[in-house]
């Protein structure tokens, strides 16, 4: 089961498309799962979570909470951050938000981006997942 929740109004998210995106990425990565939860939240909520769990009150792109083998975990994604980042670079905010979902999923399955070598591996995997979604023509719209 893929649970999608959205409490933000910055970027309309198609929940069915979001479920398809998550399923496509986890299938591509060959990750078995019974449940995963994705929350699309506003800057206030992501900032609260960032402060509560990482002692940093600034907004961030996504925060992942791994759980267990049955419920992979929860990912909180902030489309407002994606909109701001994408607009500065002339990119699509939906694509940027999709990247944040992928990034969160990779964290749930053990990828890390704290050290340079691990970050490089994570970026490479993010790009391959985005290419896979492009081939399948899956977006968050």
Domain limits of the chain? Answer: 2-136
In the chain, which stretches have pLDDT less than 70? none
CB 86 within 8 A of CB 95: yes
Q: Residue 2: beta bridge partners?
A: 36
CB 76 within 8 A of CB 62: yes
pTM: 0.95
Q: Residue 68: its pLDDT value, please?
A: 87
**CATH number of 2-136, picked from 3.40.50.300, 3.60.21.10, 3.40.390.30, 3.90.850.10:** 3.40.390.30
pLDDT digits (tens, 9 = 90+) for 62-102: 999 999 888 999 999 999 999 999 999 999 999 999 999 99
């Amino acid at each position: 089961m893929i649970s999608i929740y959205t409490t933000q109004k910055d970027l309309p998210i198609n929940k069915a498309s979001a479920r398809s995106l998550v399923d496509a990425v986890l299938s591509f990565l060959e990750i078995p799962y019974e449940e995963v939860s994705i929350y699309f939240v506003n800057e206030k909520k992501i900032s609260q979570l960032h402060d509560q769990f990482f002692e940093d009150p600034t907004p961030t792109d996504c925060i992942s909470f791994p759980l267990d083998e049955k419920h992979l975990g929860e990912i909180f994604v902030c489309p407002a951050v994606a909109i701001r980042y994408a607009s500065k670079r002339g990119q699509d905010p939906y694509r940027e938000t999709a990247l944040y979902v992928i990034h969160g999923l990779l964290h749930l399955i053990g990828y890390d981006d704290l050290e340079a070598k691990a970050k490089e591996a994570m970026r490479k995997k993010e790009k391959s997942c985005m290419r896979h979604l492009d081939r399948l023509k899956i977006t968050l719209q």
